[in-house]
A and B are shown apart, each in its own frame.
Chain A
Amino acid sequence: MASPIAGGVDCDLHPAVPHLTSLLPYMNDYWRDQVTTRGMTDLISQSYPVNSPISSRPDWRPAQGKPGSGIADLQRQALDPFGTAYGICNPLYGVQMVFSEDMANAFCRALNDWLAKEWLDKDARLRGSIVIPVQSIEKAVAEIERCAADQRFVQVLMLVMGDMPLGKRHYWPIYAAAERLGLPIGIHAGSAYHNPPTSVGWGSYHIEDYVAQAQAFQTQLTSLIVEGVFARHPNLKMVMLESGFTWLPPFLWRLHKFWRGVRMETPWVDRAPLEIVRSNIRFSLQPVDAPPEGDTLNRLFDHMQSDELILFSTDYPHWQFDGDEVLPKGLSADLVRKIMIDNPHATYPRLKA
Chain B
Amino acid sequence: MNVQLREPPQAAPSTSIKTAIADCDIHPARATKDELYPYLAKRWHSHLETFGVHAYQGMMEGPPYPKAQPNASRRDAYPPEGGPQGSSLSFMQKQHLDPNNVALGVLNPLNTGQGIRNQDLAAAICAAINDWQIEKWTSKDSRLKGSVVVANEDGVSAAAEIRKRAGDKNFVQVLLLSRNVEPLGQRRYWPIYEAAQDAGLPIGVHAFGFGGNPITASGWPSYYIEEMVGHSQCQQTALASLVLEGVFERFPKLKMVMVEAGFGWAPSLAWRLDKVFSKLHAEVPHLKRTPSEYIRDHIWWTTQPMEDPESRDHLFQLIEWIGWDKLLFATDYPHWDYDEPSRVLPAGVSDANRQAFYLDNAKQLYGIS
**Residues of chain A having any CB pair with chain B under 8 Å:** 52-54, 160-168, 191, 194-208, 210-212, 214-216, 218-220, 222-223, 226-227, 244, 246-247, 249-251, 253-262, 264-266, 287, 289-291, 296, 299, 302-303, 305, 319
B269 at interface by CB-CB < 8 Å: yes
Give the nearest-CB partner of A198 in chain B: B237
Give the nearest-CB partner of B68 in chain A: A262
CB contact between B272 and one of A195, A244, A262 (< 8 Å): that residue: A244
For B182, B229, B280, the residue with the greatest tally of chain A CB atoms inside 10 Å of its CB is B229
Measured between alpha carbons, how far is A220 from B272 in the docked complex, in Å? Answer: 19
Measured between alpha carbons, how far is A243 from B214 in the docked complex, in Å? Answer: 21
- Tell whether, in the assembled complex, residue B217 and residue A250 are in contact, meaning their CB atoms are under 8 Å apart: no
Which among B40-48, B307-315, B344-352 touches the partner chain?
B307-315
CB contact between A261 and one of B3, B268, B310 (< 8 Å): that residue: B3
- Tell whether, in the assembled complex, residue B237 and residue A212 are in contact, meaning their CB atoms are under 8 Å apart: yes
Known: A163-B219, A219-B221. 5 other contacts (CB 8 A): A54-B279, A195-B216, A218-B233, A258-B228, A258-B229
CB contact between A254 and one of B234, B240, B262 (< 8 Å): that residue: B262
- Tell whether, in the assembled complex, residue B225 and residue A222 are in contact, meaning their CB atoms are under 8 Å apart: yes
Which among B24-32, B75-83, B115-123, B183-191 touches the partner chain?
B183-191
Within 8 A of A (CB), among B6-49: none
CB contact between B262 and one of A165, A199, A206, A250 (< 8 Å): that residue: A250
The 5 closest A-B pairs by CB, nearest first: A250-B264, A198-B237, A289-B272, A219-B216, A215-B233
Chain B nearest CB, measured from A289 CB (Å): 4
- Tell whether, in the assembled complex, residue A211 and residue B185 are in contact, meaning their CB atoms are under 8 Å apart: no
Measured between alpha carbons, how far is A200 from B183 in the docked complex, in Å? Answer: 5
- Tell whether, in the assembled complex, residue B225 and residue A253 are in contact, meaning their CB atoms are under 8 Å apart: no
B161 at interface by CB-CB < 8 Å: no
B284 at interface by CB-CB < 8 Å: yes
B91 at interface by CB-CB < 8 Å: no
Q: A219-B217, A244-B268, A250-B265 are in contact. Are A200 and B237 (CB under 8 A)?
A: yes
**Residues of chain B having any CB pair with chain A under 8 Å:** 1, 3, 68, 178-186, 211, 213-226, 228-230, 232-234, 236-238, 240-241, 244-245, 262, 264-265, 267-269, 271-273, 275-277, 279-280, 282-284, 305, 307-310, 314, 317-318, 321, 336-337
Give the nearest-CB partner of B66 in chain A: A265
- Tell whether, in the assembled complex, residue B219 and residue A215 are in contact, meaning their CB atoms are under 8 Å apart: no
Chain B nearest CB, measured from A173 CB (Å): 17
Q: A198-B237, A200-B183, A206-B280 are in contact. Are A253 and B265 (CB under 8 A)?
A: no
Measured between alpha carbons, how far is A32 from B192 in the docked complex, in Å? Answer: 54
- Tell whether, in the assembled complex, residue A226 and residue B283 are in contact, meaning their CB atoms are under 8 Å apart: no
Measured between alpha carbons, how far is A256 from B223 in the docked complex, in Å? Answer: 15
Sample of 29 A–B contacts (CB below 8 Å): A160-B218, A195-B217, A200-B179, A203-B237, A204-B186, A204-B245, A205-B284, A206-B280, A208-B241, A210-B276, A210-B280, A214-B269, A215-B217, A222-B225, A222-B230, A223-B218, A227-B223, A249-B309, A251-B232, A253-B309, A254-B232, A257-B305, A258-B228, A259-B225, A261-B68, A262-B225, A265-B68, A265-B225, A305-B310
Give every chain A residue within 8 A of B234 (Cβ-Cβ): 199-200
Chain B nearest CB, measured from A276 CB (Å): 14
CB contact between B244 and one of A208, A258, A291 (< 8 Å): that residue: A208
- Tell whether, in the assembled complex, residue B308 and residue A216 are in contact, meaning their CB atoms are under 8 Å apart: no
Q: A164-B219, A250-B265, A303-B309 are in contact. Are A201 and B213 (CB under 8 A)?
A: yes
Give the nearest-CB partner of A257 in chain B: B308
Measured between alpha carbons, how far is A161 from B213 in the docked complex, in Å? Answer: 14
CB contact between A166 and one of B218, B280, B310, B336 (< 8 Å): that residue: B218
Chain B nearest CB, measured from A222 CB (Å): 5
Measured between alpha carbons, how far is A119 from B276 in the docked complex, in Å? Answer: 30
For A53, A199, A210, A214, the residue with the greatest tally of chain B CB atoms inside 10 Å of its CB is A199
Chain B nearest CB, measured from A250 CB (Å): 3
Give every chain A residue within 8 A of B3 (Cβ-Cβ): 261
- Tell whether, in the assembled complex, residue A216 and residue B262 are in contact, meaning their CB atoms are under 8 Å apart: no
Measured between alpha carbons, how far is A163 from B337 in the docked complex, in Å? Answer: 31
Give every chain B residue within 8 A of A165 (Cβ-Cβ): 216, 218-222, 226
CB contact between B271 and one of A205, A216, A218, A291 (< 8 Å): that residue: A291
For A194, A200, A258, the residue with the greatest tally of chain B CB atoms inside 10 Å of its CB is A200
Chain B nearest CB, measured from A175 CB (Å): 16
Q: A207-B284, A210-B280, A211-B272 are in contact. Are A222 and B226 (CB under 8 A)?
A: yes
- Tell whether, in the assembled complex, residue A227 and residue B213 are in contact, meaning their CB atoms are under 8 Å apart: no
Chain A nearest CB, measured from B218 CB (Å): 5
For A195, A207, A226, the residue with the greatest tally of chain B CB atoms inside 10 Å of its CB is A207
- Tell whether, in the assembled complex, residue B213 and residue A200 are in contact, meaning their CB atoms are under 8 Å apart: yes
- Tell whether, in the assembled complex, residue B213 and residue A262 are in contact, meaning their CB atoms are under 8 Å apart: no
Give the nearest-CB partner of B287 in chain A: A207
- Tell whether, in the assembled complex, residue A203 and residue B183 are in contact, meaning their CB atoms are under 8 Å apart: yes
Q: A215-B237, A219-B218 are in contact. Are A289 and B271 (CB under 8 A)?
A: yes
- Tell whether, in the assembled complex, residue B241 and residue A200 are in contact, meaning their CB atoms are under 8 Å apart: yes
Measured between alpha carbons, how far is A222 from B237 in the docked complex, in Å? Answer: 17
Measured between alpha carbons, how far is A199 from B226 in the docked complex, in Å? Answer: 12
Give every chain A residue within 8 A of B283 (Cβ-Cβ): 205-207
CB contact between B183 and one of A160, A161, A162, A198 (< 8 Å): that residue: A198
Give the nearest-CB partner of B264 in chain A: A250
Q: A214-B272, A261-B68 are in contact. Are A200 and B211 (CB under 8 A)?
A: yes
Chain A nearest CB, measured from B315 CB (Å): 9
Give every chain B residue within 8 A of A204 (Cβ-Cβ): 185-186, 244-245
- Tell whether, in the assembled complex, residue A260 and residue B244 are in contact, meaning their CB atoms are under 8 Å apart: no
Give every chain A residue within 8 A of B279 (Cβ-Cβ): 53-54, 319
Measured between alpha carbons, how far is A165 from B215 in the docked complex, in Å? Answer: 10
Give the nearest-CB partner of A211 in chain B: B240
Q: A196-B217, A204-B245 are in contact. Are A227 and B237 (CB under 8 A)?
A: no
Measured between alpha carbons, how far is A287 from B268 in the docked complex, in Å? Answer: 12
Measured between alpha carbons, how far is A266 from B68 in the docked complex, in Å? Answer: 12
Q: A199-B233, A253-B309, A303-B314 are in contact. Are A261 and B337 (CB under 8 A)?
A: yes
For A211, A264, A299, the residue with the greatest tally of chain B CB atoms inside 10 Å of its CB is A211
Measured between alpha carbons, how far is A211 from B230 in the docked complex, in Å? Answer: 16
Give every chain A residue within 8 A of B217 (Cβ-Cβ): 160-161, 191, 195-199, 212, 215-216, 219
- Tell whether, in the assembled complex, residue A163 and residue B218 are in contact, meaning their CB atoms are under 8 Å apart: yes
- Tell whether, in the assembled complex, residue A299 and residue B179 are in contact, meaning their CB atoms are under 8 Å apart: no
Measured between alpha carbons, how far is A253 from B310 in the docked complex, in Å? Answer: 8
Give the nearest-CB partner of A263 in chain B: B225
Measured between alpha carbons, how far is A260 from B336 in the docked complex, in Å? Answer: 13
